[in-house]
Chain A
């Protein structure tokens, strides 16, 4: 079964709503929110081994909200979100992590952060060698190893 079918339509709606609460879109930084369709599709397609815990988290969220999260007024929704994060344990943490890990690999987001759109390998990165004279005070202080009889 494809992963995107692992969640019910109601669960997918709530996931989209809570994701937008975690990371809303920003005109200032020119980035989408975590409810962006492409980012949501990435989440659903790559849930994999996290599916069970994310489902548990969404069930917990549904119990707290009592109705679709998006239909709550803003104050109530914020209260539910806070309670969800504080009482949701490993399941809530997993859901939040899934949102973050998909958001922070989106091309638009990485571009906004000034990061390259690529895997580390094979290009790698270049490091400045640094100023090794910083070690001079350490060498000057010297010291010695503790004796071992």
Chain B
């Protein structure tokens, strides 16, 4: 039998890396098990001439399409939004757009302000030191002073506006609407051993330059130097418990597929809003027949995705196409509740700079604006290199019927039951998306765009996996307490997006990592009575 470790972290992505790094200073024996492996930037898509084609196969954002041995399948047939993720050291920070807004202070008080959902048991101010620390380690670029966003202090200047930015900014100014250069985790100058962005463009499916921050090149090297052990290609099947209801360790399959047991004094789950409830439900036992940490019955429930309403069009002027990071600007014009719009809460906007030629051809043919036959060439030259896009990140409110359960049939390559998603877009979200599409059309038309198309929702837009093990002070209405510890299992913690109470209208990774650092800090402060 293996020697027990002090802390066992499951998952080496955004939150697992952050919590590992933070806890390393305790000098405890910390082990992280990750089902994926280390990435090799020399194999990233942008290093080859077939860089765009890979997006439809081995570098798809969907684990179901990608089907790498490290991936696990997800039954999302009963959802208009499909789950996208990545499984490796770095997790989905390997494959993300690096857009880096934070939740707003008001997002933590939704019930109080708008009478819907629940307030968080923590607030924005409590997270500020951890946002700041995280921004420093991940390395952010942007422009301080946005009047409609929380004040941030990016250590690097913003990305260039390029060709697309001025087109969007001019249109927004004509409309009198807010816009601002996005905070991103794209390094715009050499930073902490990372080379500056050289505009490879195709950087969502991993950055060969290393300019886009992912935790395999930020947190992990530091955590490992500080003594954290990271064991790759280890897929955890279940968390085990003893007669006192305490976690005792995990059963996992090692890189050779051999079943192993790793005892641990503390278990931290960092598997995202789908992987975490899946693991908890797969850890059911006679003592916890409905799944581990699930006395509330809320494990897997309240799944929030952020339905993306996207609208795009084509301008006469050349845009950045694939020659820049995909996002550079945001707008918070419609972020806060205005009941005259017919819905509660709101959405952030991220603007898209353009697309590469293959993506443009495939997408435009599918939309019916790129014809077959002799006119194909003329139309393609009108479209290619002329796209600008408006994507609204609509705040999804928690609803228990939106959930993650275990699929009765589907299993991963290790024989572990897979996750099943049941999700519908709510009436409030629907109204919000319609509003966003109408405003997006105004923006595009003001910019002079034609051939306007929509993705409503972006079908493979389930990037943000939130709410399925939410935090709260009431054990009957939440899965973990206000510092991330399971109400039911006193040595079990959750630090990923599962703990979100509400979703806000922004990309969540910055807030996920700030929460992971906050939970780690709380653990360090309570080491002597962690299990009380």
Which of the residues A31, A48, A137 comes within 8 Å of B173, measured between beta carbons? A137
Contact A146 B113 (CB under 8 A): yes
Q: Once bound together, how far apart are the Cα atoms of A147 and B113, in whole Å?
A: 9
Tell me the minimal C-beta distance from B257 to chain A in angstroms. Answer: 23
Contact B358 A125 (CB under 8 A): no
Q: Is A5 an interface residue (CB 8 A)?
A: no
Contact B358 A48 (CB under 8 A): no
Q: Is B50 an interface residue (CB 8 A)?
A: yes
Can you name 6 extra interface pairs (CB under 8 A) apart from A121-B44, A124-B201, A149-B112?
Answer: A31-B377, A119-B49, A121-B209, A122-B198, A127-B199, A141-B178
Q: Once bound together, how far apart are the Cα atoms of A141 and B198, in whole Å?
A: 33
Stretch of B161-169, B267-275, B431-439, B470-478 with 4 or more beta carbons under 8 angstroms from chain A: B161-169
**Given the known A-B contacts A21-B373, A141-B178, A149-B109, are A101 and B201 also in contact in the complex, defined by CB atoms under 8 Å?**
no
Q: Is B104 an interface residue (CB 8 A)?
A: yes
Of B108, B200, B384, chain A has the most CB atoms within 10 Å of the CB of B200
Size category, A interface: 35 or more
Tell me the minimal C-beta distance from A111 to chain B in angstroms. Answer: 12
Q: Is B57 an interface residue (CB 8 A)?
A: yes
Bitwise interface map of A from 17 to 60 toward B, beta carbon under 8 Å scored 1, else 0: 00001111010110100000000000000101110000000000
Q: Once bound together, how far apart are the Cα atoms of A32 and B125, in whole Å?
A: 61
Q: Is B258 an interface residue (CB 8 A)?
A: no
Contact A132 B109 (CB under 8 A): no
Question: Which residues in B have some Cβ–Cβ distance to A below 8 Å?
Answer: 44, 46-53, 56-58, 67, 104-106, 108-109, 112-113, 123-124, 143, 145, 147-150, 159-163, 165-166, 169-170, 172-173, 176, 178-181, 197-202, 208-209, 320, 322-324, 336, 357-358, 361-362, 365-366, 372-374, 376-377, 381, 384
Contact A104 B361 (CB under 8 A): yes
- Residues in B neighbouring A123, C-beta threshold 8 A: 198
Q: Once bound together, how far apart are the Cα atoms of A121 and B54, in whole Å?
A: 15
Q: Is A100 an interface residue (CB 8 A)?
A: yes
> Could you list some 14 contacts between A and B, CB below 8 A?
A24-B374, A97-B56, A105-B53, A119-B51, A120-B51, A120-B200, A120-B322, A121-B47, A122-B198, A128-B162, A128-B163, A134-B161, A134-B173, A144-B148
**Quick one: closest B residue to A148, CB to CB?**
B105
Q: Once bound together, how far apart are the Cα atoms of A105 and B45, in whole Å?
A: 14
Q: Once bound together, how far apart are the Cα atoms of A23 and B361, in whole Å?
A: 11
Which of the residues A93, A115, A120 comes within 8 Å of B46, measured between beta carbons? A120
Contact A113 B381 (CB under 8 A): yes
Q: Once bound together, how far apart are the Cα atoms of A23 and B200, in whole Å?
A: 28
Contact A50 B173 (CB under 8 A): no
Tell me the minimal C-beta distance from B313 to chain A in angstroms. Answer: 20
Bitwise interface map of A from 98 to 110 toward B, beta carbon under 8 Å scored 1, else 0: 0011111100001
- Residues in B neighbouring A23, C-beta threshold 8 A: 372, 376-377
Contact B162 A127 (CB under 8 A): yes
Tell me the minimal C-beta distance from B340 to chain A in angstroms. Answer: 16
Which of the residues B108, B198, B372 comes within 8 Å of A125, measured between beta carbons? B198
Contact B105 A145 (CB under 8 A): yes
Q: Is A126 an interface residue (CB 8 A)?
A: yes
**Given the known A-B contacts A21-B373, A24-B376, A129-B161, are A134 and B320 also in contact in the complex, defined by CB atoms under 8 Å?**
no
Tell me the minimal C-beta distance from A16 to chain B in angstroms. Answer: 15
- Residues in A neighbouring B374, C-beta threshold 8 A: 24, 26
Main secondary structure, interface of B, reads loop
Which of the residues A85, A100, A119, A125 comes within 8 Å of B48, measured between beta carbons? A119
**Quick one: closest B residue to A118, CB to CB?**
B49
Contact B384 A121 (CB under 8 A): no
**Given the known A-B contacts A134-B173, A139-B147, are A127 and B178 also in contact in the complex, defined by CB atoms under 8 Å?**
no
Tell me the minimal C-beta distance from B363 to chain A in angstroms. Answer: 10
- Residues in A neighbouring B176, C-beta threshold 8 A: 137, 141
Q: Once bound together, how far apart are the Cα atoms of A121 and B205, in whole Å?
A: 13
Tell me the minimal C-beta distance from B324 to chain A in angstroms. Answer: 5
Tell me the minimal C-beta distance from A57 to chain B in angstroms. Answer: 14
**Quick one: closest A residue to B67, CB to CB?**
A49
- Residues in A neighbouring B361, C-beta threshold 8 A: 100-101, 103-104
Which 3 A-B residue pairs are closest in the complex by CB-CB distance? A130-B161, A124-B198, A148-B105
- Residues in B neighbouring A1, C-beta threshold 8 A: none
Tell me the minimal C-beta distance from B391 to chain A in angstroms. Answer: 20
**Given the known A-B contacts A142-B147, A146-B104, A149-B109, are A105 and B50 also in contact in the complex, defined by CB atoms under 8 Å?**
yes
Q: Once bound together, how far apart are the Cα atoms of A46 and B57, in whole Å?
A: 11
Which of the residues B106, B166, B181, B324 comes within 8 Å of A131, measured between beta carbons? B166
**Given the known A-B contacts A22-B372, A129-B160, A148-B123, are A138 and B147 also in contact in the complex, defined by CB atoms under 8 Å?**
yes
Q: Is A62 an interface residue (CB 8 A)?
A: no
Q: Is A75 an interface residue (CB 8 A)?
A: no
Contact A29 B377 (CB under 8 A): yes
- Residues in A neighbouring B47, C-beta threshold 8 A: 119, 121-122
Contact A96 B124 (CB under 8 A): no
- Residues in A neighbouring B161, C-beta threshold 8 A: 128-132, 134
Q: Once bound together, how far apart are the Cα atoms of A35 and B366, in whole Å?
A: 20
Which of the residues A31, A145, A147 comes within 8 Å of B150, measured between beta carbons? A145
Contact B373 A126 (CB under 8 A): no
**Given the known A-B contacts A105-B53, A144-B147, are A28 and B377 also in contact in the complex, defined by CB atoms under 8 Å?**
yes
Q: Once bound together, how far apart are the Cα atoms of A130 and B323, in whole Å?
A: 15
**Quick one: closest B residue to A136, CB to CB?**
B173
Q: Once bound together, how far apart are the Cα atoms of A81 and B373, in whole Å?
A: 11
- Residues in B neighbouring A142, C-beta threshold 8 A: 147
- Residues in A neighbouring B381, C-beta threshold 8 A: 29, 113
Q: Once bound together, how far apart are the Cα atoms of A48 and B50, in whole Å?
A: 13
- Residues in A neighbouring B105, C-beta threshold 8 A: 145-148
Q: Is A143 an interface residue (CB 8 A)?
A: yes
Q: Once bound together, how far apart are the Cα atoms of A54 and B372, in whole Å?
A: 18
**Given the known A-B contacts A97-B362, A120-B322, A121-B46, are A130 and B106 also in contact in the complex, defined by CB atoms under 8 Å?**
no
**Given the known A-B contacts A26-B374, A130-B165, A138-B179, are A146 and B202 also in contact in the complex, defined by CB atoms under 8 Å?**
no
Tell me the minimal C-beta distance from B359 to chain A in angstroms. Answer: 9
